[in-house]
Every structure is written in C-alpha cells, then in structure tokens.
Amino acid sequence: MKKHLLPFLFLFADADEWQESEESVEHIPFSHTHYPEKEMVKRSQEFYELLNKRRSVRFISNEQVPMEVIDNVIRTAGTAPSGAHTEPWTFVVVKNPDVKHKIRKIIEEEEEINYMKRMGHRWVTDLKKLRTNWIKEYLDTAPILILIFKQVHGFAANGKKKVHYYNEISVSIACGILLAALQVIGKIILKELALISFLNL
C-alpha cells in the first residue's frame, strides 16, 4: 500500500549533544485512521472554515465556561509535540477576580513599556488603526484566564536537572493547538503576549 507522507523539516543536533536516557521507554505501536481522499478534502475544508472564523476580539463576555471544557482544551493543548517529549509547559487557570486584577496590572505595566520603548515607532503606528493600547480591561471581565509558562528545564526521577530541548518552540505549538481547541468549542479568545520574567502574586 502506498503511503502519502507530508514533508516536515527536522533539525538534528550532533550525536554527542544528546545524553542517553536513564530510563527505558516502552514501545507503543502506532495506528491511525486513514481517510479516503474525498473525506480528507471535506474534513480539511471544514476545519479551515471553522478556524478562519477566529478573531482577536477585545469585547469579552463574562459568561462562565464549565471547568470540564477548560480541562479538555488544556489536555488537547498538551498533545502537542515537544523536543524529546519533555512537554515543557505549565497551564494555570485563574478564576479569582483579585488574582485576575493583579495579573492585569502586571501585564499593563509591561505593555506600557512595550508601547513607549520596546516596540518602536513603526509598530506603534501600525497598531493605531486597530485602536489598541496597553489598557487591558477585558482581563478583569473574562471569566477565566489561562496562563501558559514555558519550562526551560525539568528534573529527572533521580533529582538531576533535565534539559527541555526547543522549549519555546514546543510551547508555541501547544499554544496554537489551544487556540484551535477553543475555536472548536465556539469560545472567543484573545492572546496576550507580555514580556514578563515572573509573576509574583
């Protein structure tokens, strides 16, 4: 049977940069569903049309979302590929109004610095037509905030520090899958990318 494989770009490091795992990993046979060509076209078109409806909306509803739904979309994001299967991400769900407000203040402080210093005149000018600024009142309105942190390293069972390869790329992929999962359930989301080294809440 002829198999059709999509081309991917793989980056390889020198052999001496990799450390042999101290634990043996059980082999898990892989199986997948093979769709006829017409079905692939249909499913891909439907998925495209669904995700093409995604918008960066800044008027957020305070309608509550069941935690089971949030758990499922985060679990979906956690299926993302990661360097050496290290899964270098942490998802934190925030519902407490006081904590959300503290997060808003931290993000607004950083965003004001972005607009005033980091982003540059051209970037700020391009944003003017979108009428955006560093004020993020919707962070108080939204019923749930999902904070996503990258893990630069982890710890092995023996307590030794374990490198998380390509942690930023891996977390970025997980974020993309999270956005898609939220779109599938019909929820409007807005991502905030703040340059924050730590959150002291």
CATH 3.40.109.10 for domain 55-201, yes or no, is yes
> Does residue 199 contact residue 106 with C-beta atoms inside 8 Å?
yes
Which tokens in the block code for residue 84? 């050496």
What DSSP character marks residue 180?
A: H
> Does residue 152 contact residue 113 with C-beta atoms inside 8 Å?
no
- H helices of the chain, in order, are 37-51, 67-77, 97-113, 121-128, 138-141, 167-184
* Confidence at residue 10, expressed as pLDDT on a 0 to 100 scale: 39
Cβ neighbours of residue 11 closer than 8 Å, sequence gap 6 or more: none
> Does residue 196 contact residue 107 with C-beta atoms inside 8 Å?
yes
* Confidence at residue 155, expressed as pLDDT on a 0 to 100 scale: 86
pTM score, whole prediction: 0.78
Supply angle C-alpha 122, 199, 173, rounded to 5.
Answer: 65
pLDDT digits (tens, 9 = 90+) for 56-65: 888 888 889 9
- H helices of 33-90, in order, are 37-51, 67-77
Please provide the distance, in angstroms rounded to a whole number, between the alpha carbons at the two ends of the chain.
57
For strands 161-163 and 145-150, give the pairing: unpaired
Given a cut of 70, the residues of the chain with pLDDT beneath it are 1-23, 188-201
